[in-house]
Amino acid sequence: MSQLTHFNAAGEAHMVDVAAKAVTRRVAVAEGSIRMLPATLALIAAGGHKKGDVLGVARIAGIMGAKRTADLVPLCHPLALTGVEIAFEVHTAAAAVYCRARVETTGQTGVEMEALCAVQISLLTVYDMCKAVDRGMTIEQVRLLEKAGGTSGAWSRSADATGATEVTV
């Protein structure tokens, strides 16, 4: 990338005009995790939390977060999403819940921000539902894994020239 696209020639912030871009299928995948006390993770895994199904609620929150990204990130375009998938994995040894979001649309701009927002909101919901028993939880490693579609084509963290490597969850 040679320039930041959210600034005009005068250096003022603006929403990028995507009118001339081709309508293509756009997909993005993001991930992150939340680490916690083993006892907190046990409550989540057993479904024993008195607030209910933590991961079920977090999944719905993540979907809603993806749909509302343009309301949260000022220069994002509102998009008609065609699919949002949120998957969780409980890792007992790490005392963590891993979250992966896959977001799709057919449009003129990508869904990377929607995938990242879905992960963040999912993990924030886990925190919110469990903070009464564990305020020390830590949200970590929220990042884009891959994107496809559009003028810039496909990108994958595992193939990134910066040497970044994908962590399998």
Give all strands (DSSP E) within the chain, no chain letters: 24-35, 81-91, 96-107, 138-148, 155-156
**Of 71, 128, 134, 160, which residue is the catalytic one?**
128
56 close to 87: Cβ distance less than 8 angstroms:
no
116: left (phi over 0), alpha (psi -120 to 50) or beta: alpha
Radius of gyration for the chain, computed over Cα atoms and rounded to the nearest angstrom:
17
28 close to 103: Cβ distance less than 8 angstroms:
yes
The pTM of the full predicted model, rounded to 2 decimals, is: 0.86
Of the listed ranges 60-69, 94-103, 152-161, the one predicted with least confidence: 152-161
If residue 112 lies in a helix (H) or strand (E), which one and from where to where? helix 112-130
Residue % of the chain over a pLDDT of 70: 86
Compute φ and ψ for 86, nearest 5 degrees.
Answer: -120, 125
Return the structure tokens found at 89. 């994995």
Residue 168 has pLDDT above 80, yes or no: no
**Count of positions (residues) in the chain:** 169
Quickly state the pLDDT bin for 161 (edges 50, 70, 90): low
If residue 123 lies in a helix (H) or strand (E), which one and from where to where? helix 112-130
Compute φ and ψ for 39, nearest 5 degrees.
Answer: -65, -35
Residue 134 designated active-site: no
Span 69-81, pLDDT tens digits:
999 998 888 999 9
